[in-house]
Amino acid sequence: MDSLTLFGLLAVTAMLLFYALEDRSPWFILAFAGACVLASLYGFLQGAWPFGMVEAIWSAVAIYRWRARMLSSARQFRSSQPDREAL
């Protein structure tokens, strides 16, 4: 197994692992996006540009989902705090 194939294997394995853990924390969604970037890089380096493009798109989708989850978490946190003006 050459180093490029090993890199691709590790990138896709990381994608699978982080995708499985996404419900536990928004940070796993961001890690999934990073793994998608690595898989995209692998696709371009090995000459499979359609794979590289699809993985780049998945990375953008994951970053959008991470941002949406973080904003949703922040809103929930703010709404659970007592109103300071009422005190």
Check residue 86 and give its pLDDT.
56
pLDDT at 32: 98
Q: Which residue has the higher pLDDT, 75 or 34?
A: 34
pLDDT digits (tens, 9 = 90+) for 16-70: 999 999 999 999 999 999 999 999 999 999 999 999 999 999 999 999 999 999 9
- pTM, two decimals, is 0.84
- Taking residue 30's Cβ as centre, other Cβ atoms within 10 Å add up to 19
**CA–CA dist 3, 60 (Å, integer):** 26
Q: Measured over all CA atoms, what is the biggest interatomic distance in the chain, rounded to whole angstroms?
A: 66
Domain boundaries, the chain: 3-80
- pLDDT for 74: 75
Q: CA 59, CA 64: separation in Å to the nearest integer?
A: 9
